[in-house]
Amino acid sequence: MADDADVIIVGAGLAGLVAAAELAEAGKKTIIVDQEPEQSLGGQAFWSLGGIFLIDSPEQRRMRIRDSYALALEDWLGTAAFDRPEDLWPRRWAEAYVGFAAGEKRSWLMQRGLKFFPVVGWAERGGGNAVGHGNSVPRFHVTWGTGPGVLEPFVQRVREAEKNGLIRFKFRHRVNELTRTGTVVDGVRGDILVPSDVERGRKSSRDVAGDFELQAQAVIVASGGIGANPELVRKNWPQRLGTPPRHMISGVPDHVDGRMLAITERTGGSVINRDRMWHYVEGIRNWAPLWTDHAIRILPGPSSLWLDARGKRLPVPLYPGFDTLGTLSHIMRTGFDYSWFILTQKIIQKEFALSGSEQNPDLTGKSWRQVLGRATSGVPGPVKAFMEKGKDFIVEAELPALVARMNALAGGEPLLELSQVEREILARDRQLDNPFSKDMQITALRGARAYLGDRLIRTAKPHKMLDPANGPLIAVRLNILTRKTLGGLHTDLDSRVLGIDGRPVEGLYAVGEAAGFGGGGMHGYAALEGTFLGGCIFSGRSAGRAAARGVG
């Protein structure tokens, strides 16, 4: 049977597109198959905020941030906490990726047209010791144009290669099997799904219209993770994160189903670190949903008071934006799968942002006028829409009314006692009477405002929540939001999939979230943020270059 292409890529998301662009630059012929319709080109990356992890960038230096490869690697390894024999390749990927982020990553992306918002964000601040979890300095660079802006240069290159006959797309082609000749993976077989004109992000049908088979010299699996498959999430849920949530909302579209992982395993590839995953605790239900249980993540500044379902304040250092999985583990051990923010109007208008390209029309649309409007016109429009229409937001002038509505929203037995909630807020407010404090969150707020970017646009001036001048009061019910698979297909630094014997499966590569963003889990147990899109880019580039060298 004659080859249909040199390489077949399964998945038309960011990692697959980067690999295809590299193959095209090497003059190789590629077929990209994807179970979704053409309007979903780009996959999950389209919906992202476009955060990119960079080290010692000009943007950092302009914001008076001193960063280095050594500091970033210490932060990465302290966060990843690699401790398993199978972490050999993930650790090598981590070291290579940090080197990429400190080296050519920014210039390579800018050569392809990416630009970055000048204020660098400080995500996953940690709050422990210097060798533990978290970013010592801000490293979260928002792409000008958000997720669509990240995708744009790679889509353009792939579309140009399509015009030149080097790339063919086959949308609505769902792979059910990887085929072999001898020991070499050299093709795919599956179903042709009926055409679909659903809007990007909406669930498409799985009705079958026929079948297909394609042949090549190599196959790259770029199919993403398991975030929209709650059954798989619960099956792989680790004991260290507590009891799996009874209710989860989804931060990714329905097609992120994880099915290619099992298909690749049946062909000899090994999956490692299944229990490592990345889910957010600041999820809110989208008032205008596209996909099933559509969730949006709040990107909080550090000021909101965080309470569990019974109104008890979360412990040190579980403050907003400090330790995602530490907070998740704590919440799941409370016996409930939700928690609460309490904040003020002054906090929400400066500190609340929402993750996602569609929730940031100013950055996505590359409009400086709208960006300046966000900074000067009070509560951002998308946040205001959730305040008015979102089921998880409550706004009241007085605390008794706020707590009563919080109990009503939770349903069942009233868990929140006004006296408990009031005590937590009053105790916190008293800590503002002096320029020093025993409250570590107040200390962290003052430390955050020492960073110019936080003081300008991200952290409100510390103030008393129960002072009516700072109100009204706002409560937000926070749900568990599924997002990323940190484990995945085991790969070497050329993105070759390894079998259970540790040897490469001939002709088979894996990239992006399907490969744990490299190696089967280059983040280890936890992430520093801004590293998922970059992991797709880095692994896609690696696989595209290696596959180009490996095919005739």
DSSP string, 379-448: S-HHHHHHHHH-TTEEEESSHHHHHHHHHHHH-SS----HHHHHHHHHHHHHTTSSS--S-HHHHHHHHH
Q: 3-class DSSP state for residue 306?
A: strand
**CA-CA distance, 405 to 397, in Å (whole number)?**
12
- pTM exceeds cut of 0.75: yes
CA–CA distance, 353 with 384 (Å, rounded to integer): 11
343-398 pLDDT tens trace: 999 999 999 999 999 999 999 999 998 888 877 778 999 999 999 999 999 999 99
DSSP string across 343-384: EEHHHHHHH-EE-SGGG-HHHHTT-HHHHHHHHHSSS-HHHH
Domain boundaries, the chain: 5-223+486-550, 284-481
Report which residue type is found at 57. S
What pLDDT band is residue 552 in, cutting at 50, 70 and 90? confident
Residue whose C-alpha is closest to residue 140's, from 68, 276, 49: 49
The answer to whether the CB of 89 falls within 8 A of the CB of 168 is no
Nearest Cα to Cα of residue 316 among 439, 447, 468: 439
- 447 in Cβ contact with 437 (< 8 Å): no
pLDDT at 253 over 60: yes
Structure tokens at 21: 């662009």
> What number is the average pLDDT over the span 118-140?
95
Contact 133, 79 (CB under 8 A): yes
pLDDT score of 239: 95
Structure tokens at 59: 């943007």
At the fourth CATH level, the homologous superfamily of domain 5-223+486-550 is: FAD/NAD(P)-binding domain (3.50.50.60)
Report the amino acid identity of residue 189. R
**Residue type, position 118, single letter:** P
Closest CA to 51 of 326, 385, 360: 360
What's the distance, CA 425 to chain centroid? 32
Q: Say yes or no to pLDDT of 495 above 90.
A: yes
What's residue 128's pLDDT? 84
Residue 1 pLDDT more than 70? no
Task: Provide the percentage of residues in the chain whose pLDDT is more than 90.
Answer: 96
Q: Which residues of 238-273 are buried (b: 16+ CB within 10 A; e: fewer)?
A: eeebbebbeebbbbbbbbbbbbbbebbeebbbbbbb
Predicted confidence band of residue 179 (pLDDT cuts 50, 70, 90)? very high
